Amino acid sequence: MILLSISILSNPGSFFSEEKHYDSITVYSNKPIGQETDSIMSEVLLRLNAVPIYNPDSKYNLCLCSTQRKFSFFSRLTLRANRVMGFSLLGSAYVNEDYIKELGLKTGGQPKYLTREGSIVHVATHELMHGYLADTYGYFASRSLPEWKTEGYCEYGVNQFVAPKDKGYSITERIDIYLDDSQWNRAAEIHRPHYVWGLMMEYLINIRELKFEQVMDDIVTNEKTYQEMIDWRNSIKDKN
C-alpha cells in the first residue's frame, strides 16, 4: 500500500485528463486548460521569479484539483485531512480549488494577501514554494525547521513582490492590518499566524537584507524577529 501511494503521488498525471507545461512546471487538471489557467500560471511565475531560491530548472507538477473528491483521492494517500487548501509532496503540489473558493466566501477575501483569501494563485504559489525550499535547504533538514520559518518563507514567496506595489498593502500597512482585530473574522483568524510569519520573513529579507542562510539560522527566533519588526514599525510611526 505504501509503495502504491508513493507511485501515485510521484506520478499523478495519469489521474488527470488535461496537461500543459509552463516553463518547468507541468499543470494537470480535469478541466480544459485555457485562458483561466494561463492567467493563474502567469501570476504564479511572476511571484516565483522574484524569490531568491526559485530554480526555474527544477521540474514540478501542479495538480489543480477542481473537486473535493479529486483532491481527497490524493490527500488520503498521505494521511492528511481532506479539507485543506493544498499540500506539496514528492515533486508535486496539490491544490484544492473547491475548498479555496469556499474559504474565500467565508472570509470575504479579507484580509487581502491572506492564505484564506480565496486565491488559487496564492495557494498554488505557496505549495510550490515548499518544494523549492526543500530543494535549497535539503528535504530532511527543511522538515526540522520551525513552522514559522517554513510557512513564513512560503508566504513571503507569495506576497513580497506583488503586495508592496498594491496601494494600501505596503509591509507597514500589512503589519497594521495584522494588528487590527476588526479585520479578522473567525474564518480568517485561523491563518492569522501565517500572515504575520510571512511579514516577519519579508522584514528579515527585504528590510534587514538578510540572506536565505542567515534567515534560517537557529539564532533567528520567532519572538525576537516579531519584536524587532514591531519596533521597526513603531519607529516609522514616531518619525511621522
Residue 153: predicted pLDDT = 98
pLDDT score for 237: 75
Tell me the per-residue pLDDT of 167-210, one tens digit each, with 9 for 90 and over: 999 999 999 999 999 999 999 999 999 999 999 999 999 999 99
In the chain, % of residues over pLDDT 90: 93
Provide the CA 80 distance to its chain's centre, in angstroms. 17
pLDDT range class, residue 238, cuts 50, 70, 90: low
Would you state the pLDDT for residue 240? 62
Q: Rounded CA gap, 155 and 159, in Å?
A: 6
Query: For residues 207 and 193, what is the distance between their CA atoms, to the nearest angstrom?
Result: 20
Model confidence, pTM = 0.95
Give how far Cα 94 sits from Cα of 5, 50, 63, 119, 138, Å: 15, 22, 5, 14, 21
pLDDT at 4 over 80: yes
Q: What is the pLDDT of residues 142-171, one digit of tens each?
A: 999 999 999 999 999 999 999 999 999 999
